[in-house]
Each structure stands twice: as C-alpha cells, then as structure tokens.
Structure 1
C-alpha cells in the first residue's frame, strides 16, 4: 500500500513540474487546520513529513490572516499557534482582518504565479483549489499525509493549452505573413540588382578584351605562343645492337667462277702434306 501511495505522489509531482513549472525546493502554504492536525497527530518535524511525500526538499509558509484566526480560536489551538509562528510568513495586504481560506485563495489567484502547494484540512477549500489550474493540495488523514491527484479540470486545461501551442494565433499568422512579404520583396530587389551588376561586369570584360586584342595587333604579339613541332628522328645508336658478321658464310679463300652454262664452281684450297719425315725414315731402313 505504501509503495502504491508513493507512486501516485511521484506521478502527481511530475505532472505539476512538467506542466506548470514547479521547481525544488517546493513551497508549501499551510493554513491553521493543517497545522492543528499535525500537532494533534504528533507529526513532527512537519517539513520532513511533507518532503517525504513530495520526494523533494520543501519550505513551509503561512499568512498573518492564518495566525490571527488561530488566536481567535483560544487556548484549544495555542500549541498550533506556536507551531505556526515557526513558519515563514508570506506577504498579504489584509493585515489579519480576512478569513484564512479567502486570504489563501487571493494569494493563489487565477494561475498560482508563486507555485505554492496548499496544505489544508478544509474540504471546501481543497475543492476550490483543484478547480484552479496548477494548484496541488495536501491534506492529512490521522497520522499520514496525502497529495491530491490532479483534477479533471486541471488535466483538461493542460490538454487545451498544448493544443493551442501547436497552432498559430491570428496575431502570429499576421506577423508571419508580413515577414514573408518583406523577405520576398528584398529577394526580388536583390535579384534585379544582381542582374544589373552582372550585365555591367560582362560589358566591362568584353571592352577590356577588345582593347587587349587591338594592342596586340599593333605590337605584333600573337595571342598564343607557337611551339616548334617535333619531327621524328632516327633511332638512338647507343640503344641499337651491332650487326653480326658470320666468318664461315663466305671464306676469303673461296673463289667463284662462272662457266659457260652459268653454274658457279668453287675451288677449295687443298692442304699439302709434307713427306719429309716419312722419306727420312724410309731411307734409314
């Protein structure tokens, strides 16, 4: 049961922080009935008990009208009056002459600009507060404290405000239309000026080119540098191989002679052997 209660409280706190901009430390505005319930049920310290249900640090506030109401109730609420004096007194212009519930409603206003959590035991006051967007209410039940869940009117207010932020208002539509017309007018004027500038630059470039051509003709300078065309040369002699000579193909001792019938005859040189050694051996025998 305690885990479920903590989940509900965290969900409600997340709703108010995300949709209405509540920030830590949370400010809690207490009336006399709530402080009296804390004193009777001995819930102390009060700031720690409230910070446990909100899961964040808190600051407790009250008003002069609440203090004066507790004074008028007499000795039965003397301890509650002493406990309320320890809270921070927020400013109200009533000087203690107004009822506590009407004083709190006037401080909250229509939009709760100071982002107060309101702690009260008054059921009528809680019902009125839940009809105002962005006003969370805290109450006590015996020795436990509870945070009211956001009402249907508060959830509907958040939904309608989100839908309104998605669409443009008439004023925003008029401003957007005016801005687009101004941008289109400036673009058209810029395009026309750019065209005129381009036309002038082209005329200047053409005049400069014609002047340069006339000067070159007078001087005799050609437009482009003419290079000599390279002719094909012979092969590199260093990279070429030498021709091979075959010695046995046509020996120098060979003689050619043509006969009457056109045939070529070759006479080979015969080697004569010396018989000197042979004759000397024969004579000896």
Structure 2
C-alpha cells in the first residue's frame, strides 16, 4: 500500500508541475485543525508532509489561522504553540476580516491562492471547505487520515483547464498552416524534378497536365456552371411566382371595391333620362350599319345555314347547305337570313 501511495503521489506532483508550474521547493499552507488532528493521532505533521511531497518543502501559516486558533480556547493552546514555530506568511487581511465567517482560515487560504502568484499546497482538514476549494482549478489539497497524509487527485475543473491550455498552446494558426503546406509542396516538387531529370527527360513537358486531368477539370467547371444556372432559374421562378401572387391579390381587392361601388345605386337626376335615350339611338344606328354590311357580304359569299333557328333535323343539313337564300327577316330588331323551303315528297308503298 505504501509503494502504491508513493507512486500515486509522484504522478499527482508531476501533473501539477507540468500543467500548473508547481516547482520545488514546494510551499504548503497548514490549517490549525490539520495540526490538531495530527496531535490526536500522535503524528509529526512536518515529517508526514515531507514524506508525501519530498524533502524540499516549506511550511507556512497565516495571521487569520493563528487568530482562529487563539479564539478556540485552551484546547487549541498546543496547536497555537506549534503553529507559531512554523514560518509566518503575511496575508495582508486587516483586522482579521474573515473572523466573522464560518471557516475564516479556509476563506483566507482561498483568497491567498487566487491573488498570490506563488503556488501553494493546502493542508485542509474540513470536508466542506475541501469541496468548495475543488471548484477552483490548480489547487492541490491534502488531509490526514489515521497515521498518514493523503494527497488528493486533481479535480475535474483542473483537468478541464489543463486540457484547454494544452489545446491553446498547440493550436496552429491559418498563417502557420499555409507556410507548412507551402514548404511541403516545394519539397515534393523538388523530389519530382530530380526523378524526371535522372531519367533524362524535360521536366517542363513532363509536369504539364495530362488529357485526362484537363478533361476532369473541364467537366468540373461545366458542372459548377450548370449548378449556377439552375440556381439562377430557381430564383427567377420564385420571383415570378411572388409577383403573380401579389398581382392577383391586388386585382381581387380592386374587384371587391368595384362590386361594393356598383351595388350602391345613385339617385337619378333630370338629365340622366335624356342621356339613356341618346345611348339607345346610337346603339340602333350601329345595329343597322352591321346589318347592311352582312347583306353586302351575303351577295358575294355562299349562304350560311342556320339549322337551330329554322327547326330542321340534323339529317337534312346537306340539303340546307345547297339551298339558295330567299329573303331576310327581322327578329328582335335584327336581320336574319332564312333558307329557301323545299317540299319533300314521300313515296308511299
């Protein structure tokens, strides 16, 4: 178990060394409750911490931690005496501003870790305080269990931040990628030219594109042109459809307005009756002119058959076509051509 624990501790120390730049000599902030637990188990905390991290370690405590140990009373008198033997680190918290909180030393340690650029290992005994400190990346935590000090594995937040920093460091920009590609293409071209010259051929002729390559390139360009034309046609079709729809909508609205305007009758004035009579006389004159035109054309052309008005059966249409025009009759103030009547003889047997 001891060998496995030491291997695991070395891996964790190496992880913090590579990703968060923790270097020897390691600086450790010690909690008074951690010292109190070591006294319960009769463990020398200085020796236990050096066994886990290595000989090159420096132990520190803060003014807030000493003040909390002083407040606890006579039970923590030995803890206070041991804490005074450790080197003191100035936290610059005036009037012990964290004393009113539930965990003043842990809040002091958290503030020290976030603000101070120097890297600290934290010896924290309280579970709740460790849970809160795990939410911040790059904070290695230690606590005592029975007779030995345990170094916790890195938290998920630490793993996420380290992976992100590695991606940012190894990320290649577009400019660098273009340079690398250019160098690779130049090297390939040099090798190709050397091979062609070794065979005794002209490299300029050999490097010209073949007929198959040109055909493929032309086909690709033609395909792109076809796709472009199809897109343009689709756009034109959509625009025409939209214009037609808008035109139909406007016409419908105009028709509705006209219907509404015609449905409301206007009151007639005295001059309206005279206007109507004039309109009827003009219509009659136009009808007479048309009838004269029809009569003049009928002399030159063949007579037309009107089977539906005369009332003759469909079987006798041929006879009506041969019949001559006899007269012109008026029906409803219109001239109508009537064919000549024929007598049909029936032989009774």
TM range (shorter): 0.5 to 0.7
Could you tell me which residue of structure 2 aligns to residue 245 of structure 1?
Answer: none
The residue correspondences of 1:106-121 to structure 2 (distance < 5 A) are 106-109=111-114, 113-121=117-125
After TM superposition, the score normalised by the length of structure 1 is: 0.56
Root mean square deviation of aligned Cα: 2.2
Q: Gapped runs of 5+ residues in structure 1?
A: 178-285
State the shift of 1:19 in Å: 1.0
TM-score, normalised relative to structure 2: 0.46
Q: Distance in 1 between matches of 2:36 and 2:165?
A: 38
SS in 1 for 2:14: helix
Q: Does 1:102 align with 2:107?
A: yes
- Structure with max Cα Rg: 1
Contact 1:10/1:55 (CA < 8 Å) preserved in 2?
Answer: no
Deviation at 1:146, TM superposition (A): 0.4
In structure 2, the residue matched to 1:41 is 41
* SS of corresponding position for 1:109: helix
Runs of 4+ in 1 over 6 A off after TM superposition: none
| Count of paired positions | 172
Q: Which residue matches 1:163?
A: 167
SS in 2 for 1:131: coil
| Residues 24-173 of structure 1: pairs in structure 2 closer than 5 A | 24-44=24-44, 46-95=45-94, 96-98=96-98, 99-109=104-114, 113-167=117-171
Segments of structure 2 that go 5 or more residues without pairing to the other structure are 99-103, 180-349
Secondary structure at 1:139 match in 2? strand
- C-alpha separation in 2, matches of 1:26 and 1:169: 36
Deviates more, 1:59-68 or 1:91-100: 91-100
> Contact between 1:16 and 1:134, CA under 8 Å: does it hold in 2?
yes
